[in-house]
Amino acid sequence: MSKLIDITKEGQGVFDHRLAEAAKGDRLIYHVGQHCGGVHRRNAAKASEEGKCLLVMKRADVDGLFFYLAVKR
């Protein structure tokens, strides 16, 4: 079963390490907000371009907020 890993409170530079540790199908929450942003945004985009993950967004229970996730491939 895949895990949900929240790295929103972790500092810049941990995205690549946490993605490498994750199992296939694990989901990393790298930002929560109205628009994609945060310190992990560029690392997530690069990992997606390299085929390491799939980027998705999921509506949060709070109006106007979204979870931005990277799903390990």
pLDDT in tens, 36-47: 999 999 999 999
Q: What is the pLDDT of residue 10?
A: 97
Q: What is the pLDDT of residue 2?
A: 93
Per-residue model confidence as pLDDT tens digits over 18-69: 999 999 999 999 999 999 999 999 999 999 999 999 999 999 998 899 999 9
What is the pTM for the complete model shown?
A: 0.93
**14 burial level (CB within 10 Å; 0-12, 13-18, 19+):** middle
**70 burial level (CB within 10 Å; 0-12, 13-18, 19+):** buried
